[in-house]
Copies of this chain bind each other. A is one copy, B any other.
Amino acid sequence: MPEPQPQSWRSACPVNIALEILGDRWTLLILRDVLLFQRSTFKDFQESPEKIASNILADRLKKLQQHGILESHRSESDARVIAYRPTTKGLDLLPVLIELILWTDRYEETGAPRRSIARLRRAPHEVIAEIKAAFADPTKVAKRSGK
């Protein structure tokens, strides 16, 4: 087999599809908060350090749900709160997010704690498994550790 490459599937390369879903600044920030930092409510996201505007946030949350990446339901502990959770499809974005973080940490100045990054680099699979397990277990999702 002298020719492993099947002669350019560029026009069929899935990158462009991914970009229609994720290719804007805010969407990935929301996913960061949901997947990595256990945020779940509209207010949580609004309080992100990047100060997302409420209309943009509403729009992106809607799109993320339409794409089947997030789902929402009323909180059981507090009925007036709507909690957003990742679907399986959403959780499967963790590898992308982690690779992105590792790349950025390698080449840009960030204040990220060494221990967290080191663990992501050493055992990403382990971290992913933990996060998935946490979302699979209802009790862990319901209560976000105080503070």
A residues near B, CB below 8 A? 4-20, 22-25, 28-29, 32-33, 36-37, 48-50, 68, 89, 92-93, 95-97, 99-108, 110-113, 115-116, 119, 147
Tell me whether chain A's interface is mostly helix, strand or loop, or mixed.
helix
Q: Which chain B residues lie closer than 8 Å to A18 at the CB level?
A: 100-101, 103-104, 108
Copies in the complex: 2
**B48–A104 touching, CB < 8 Å:** no
Q: Which chain B residues lie closer than 8 Å to A19 at the CB level?
A: 25, 28-29
Given the contacts A6-B113, A10-B49, A89-B107, A15 and B37 also touching, CB distance less than 8 Å: no
Query: How distant is the Cα of A16 from the Cα of B111 in the complex, in angstroms?
Result: 12
Taking CB as reference atom, which chain B residue is nearest A119? B4
**A14–B104 touching, CB < 8 Å:** yes
Taking CB as reference atom, which chain B residue is nearest A98? B99
Query: How distant is the Cα of A103 from the Cα of B111 in the complex, in angstroms?
Result: 28
**A104–B36 touching, CB < 8 Å:** no
Given the contacts A96-B96, A96-B103, A107-B92, A28 and B6 also touching, CB distance less than 8 Å: no
Q: Which chain B residues lie closer than 8 Å to A147 at the CB level?
A: 7-8
Q: List 8 A-B contacts (CB under 8 A).
A: A6-B116, A9-B113, A14-B112, A15-B29, A18-B100, A18-B101, A19-B25, A95-B103
Q: Which chain B residues lie closer than 8 Å to A13 at the CB level?
A: 32, 36-37, 101, 110, 112
